[in-house]
Amino acid sequence: MEKSIETIWKEGFMKNEALVGPKVTNLYNQKSIHFIDKYKRMFKTNLNAIAIGSILVLGASFFVGIPIMGIGLFLVAAGVFAVNKKLVKGLERIDENVNSYEYLKSFRSWLDDQISVNTKMARFYYPLIFLSTIMGFWFSSKNGQQLSETVMNELMVKYPDLTVVFGMPLIGLFVMVFILAVLALFGGKIYYWDLNIVYGRVIRKLDELISDMEDLRAE
């Protein structure tokens, strides 16, 4: 049965085999480099997907008659892309000429900063995504007539006493503002949920690796 790194490390000290320690160190160095390279690839792939996806949505929105939604989503995506592209530069500046433990700790510190920045942005961009989608469909056109006009005409026939503000039912505005407030309030939690889906397994592996190395350093 293959021995764990921790077992090899302990046996190396007990048997006083000088080569065991360096072997374990080399294994951790390899794992650290592999891990961070994998995260970099995933992160850059997701950024490229955001950029390409936003351009496709923008083009499609004009084709199907909902340009407001396309423009709104494109601007939100462009903001997220620009901020995270800048954060990538910080990732590239991490000193690789240190031991694997310090390398991983530096990477974890960068990751915490990246998550913190995106958590704050999420409180704004989730509401903006929702608002862009609603406005996009509300002001969309079909057969030369806006959807908003069609809906409002039907509502006014059924509910002649309906209160209208800014061309929208007052109750509809209340519901929209409520949803926007909820998204702003829980935007950070929604982002963590998204983060866990995409990077959760990788981040857990990172924390396990750092924890293993700290246990070995303490012994």
pLDDT at 40: 84
pTM exceeds 0.85 for this model: no
Structural domain total, the chain: 1
pLDDT at 91: 80
Task: Tell me the DSSP string of the chain.
Answer: -PPPHHHHHHHHHHHT-TTHHHHHHHHHHHHHHHHHHHHHHHHHHHHHHHHHHHHHHHHHHHHHT-HHHHHHHHHHHHHHHHHHHHHHHHHHTS--SS-HHHHHHHHHHHHHHHHHHHHHHHHHHHHHHHHHHHHHHHT-EETTEEHHHHHHHHHHHH-TT--EETTEEHHHHHHHHHHHHHHHHHHHHHHHHHHHHHHHHHHHHHHHHHHHHHHHHH-
Task: Tell me the DSSP string of 89-102.
Answer: HHHHTS--SS-HHH
- Those residues whose C-beta lies under 8 Å from the C-beta of residue 35, and which sit 6 or more positions away, are 104, 202, 205, 206, 209
Q: Report the amino acid identity of residue 89.
A: K
pLDDT at 102: 84
Strand partners of residue 141: 146
pLDDT at 95: 77
Q: At what angle do helices 67-92 and 100-138 cross, to 10 degrees?
A: 170
pLDDT at 166: 80
Would you write out the chain's pLDDT as a tens digit for each of its 219 residues?
Answer: 444 445 544 444 444 444 444 555 565 566 666 778 888 888 889 999 999 999 999 999 998 889 999 999 999 999 999 999 999 888 888 877 777 778 888 889 999 999 999 999 999 999 999 999 999 988 887 776 788 888 888 888 888 888 888 888 888 899 999 999 999 999 999 999 999 998 888 888 888 888 877 777 665
Q: Which domain holds residue 185?
A: 5-218
pLDDT at 165: 83
pLDDT at 2: 46
pLDDT at 183: 96
